[in-house]
Amino acid sequence: MSNALLEAKFARIGARLKVAEVPDRRRRIAVSGPVALDVRDDRRGEYFEITRRLGSDAEVDLEVLDVQPGDRHLLLLVREGTEKQKFLCGHDERHWFVAAVPESAPVGTVRAAKEALKPVEVRAAQARAGLRSEAGNRRKNVAYRRQGEWFFVPAPDLRVDQSLVLRNEPITRGNGGKPHRCEFCYRTGGETVYVCRRHPNGVEAATYQRILDREEGAKNWGWRVMRRNAEVYARGRVRHADHRTITLHGWHRVLMNTESQARAMWSVAFLD
């Protein structure tokens, strides 16, 4: 698909697209190959950027499989030989976003991509509630609440030890992005890790100690002790600069979307 046609497809959802030839170190979504995707901004506001990596001889095809102008979403296919990756590009509340769709999901439409990005627990909650597809795409319904990439599923039977409840606790994918903050948070399981800007996915205790022993000044890197891949619950207000604050009445299971299952996001961890 030509650059002009790609730009026209993105324009149908109200978005600008730029195709660049120079790699950018600040890219947030990277395809395992000669193409990278990101959302950038300039004086005119946000725009999508597709970066073709210089020096690559690989034949890469880009194709928009589905466009939903009313929903302001489209599904982009990146094909390199026999390898395929799909990305949901769209607008959520205040900003444009790119989400990598797991390769295990054979999707061809925006609606199917949205479903593929829901964790199995969320789809099960939808089924129990008997939600129709339209209601299932809302950020608030009887089965769950959603804020960005995070889903919150009611857990009315949960019993917690109040002494272990944390306040104003951050949850993050571990890719260096801005955390969502939960007014009240309770967690169980997972593993303890040490997190800083240089190690956003966290390192285990032994690795943390080796870093302190070998790197001068490492103690001052702003380390924070967190839990990786724990089972997390939240209630009260959940805040994020890019999203409207939501209020959870009662405890809710916190679940990250399935984007981390895509090859482009394999380095992402759930940190709390």
Burial (CB < 10 A; 0-12, 13-18, 19+), residue 170, is middle
* Mean pLDDT computed over 113-129: 94
- One-letter amino acid at 58 equals A
Angle at 52 between CA 49 and CA 56, to 5 degrees: 165
Task: Tell me which of 26 and 9 has the higher pLDDT.
Answer: 9
- Report pLDDT for 57: 60
Q: Is it the case that residue 8 has pLDDT exceeding 90?
A: yes
Nearest alpha-carbon partner for 232 in 270, 175, 180: 270
- Report pLDDT for 271: 42
DSSP letter at 133 equals H
Q: List the structure tokens of 251.
A: 């405890």
Model confidence at 136, in pLDDT bands (50, 70, 90)? Answer: confident
Q: pLDDT for 40-96, tens place per residue?
A: 899 999 999 988 766 556 678 899 999 999 999 999 998 887 888 899 999 988 899
Question: CA of 153: how far to CAs of 74, 186, 266, in Å?
Answer: 26, 14, 24
- One-letter amino acid at 65 equals L
DSSP per-residue codes, 197-238? TTEEEEE-HHHHHHHHHHSTTGGGS--EEEEES-EEEEEEEE
Nearest alpha-carbon partner for 84 in 66, 96, 72, 102: 102
Strands 35-42 and 150-154: unpaired
Question: CA of 64: how far to CAs of 116, 136, 168, in Å?
Answer: 17, 24, 40
Q: List the structure tokens of 63.
A: 């194709």
Q: List the structure tokens of 27.
A: 């890219």
Domain ranges for the chain, please list them: 3-117, 136-190+229-265
* 56: number of Cβ within 10 Å: 12
DSSP letter at 149 equals T
Burial (CB < 10 A; 0-12, 13-18, 19+), residue 17, is middle
Q: Is it the case that residue 207 has pLDDT exceeding 90?
A: yes
Q: Residues 145, 250: contact at Cβ < 8 Å? A: no
- Report pLDDT for 134: 81
Q: pLDDT for 155-197, tens place per residue?
A: 999 999 999 999 999 988 765 578 899 999 998 888 888 988 8
Stated as kind and residue range, the H or E segment containing 101 is: strand 95-101
Q: pLDDT for 234-265, tens place per residue?
A: 999 999 988 999 999 999 999 999 988 887 66
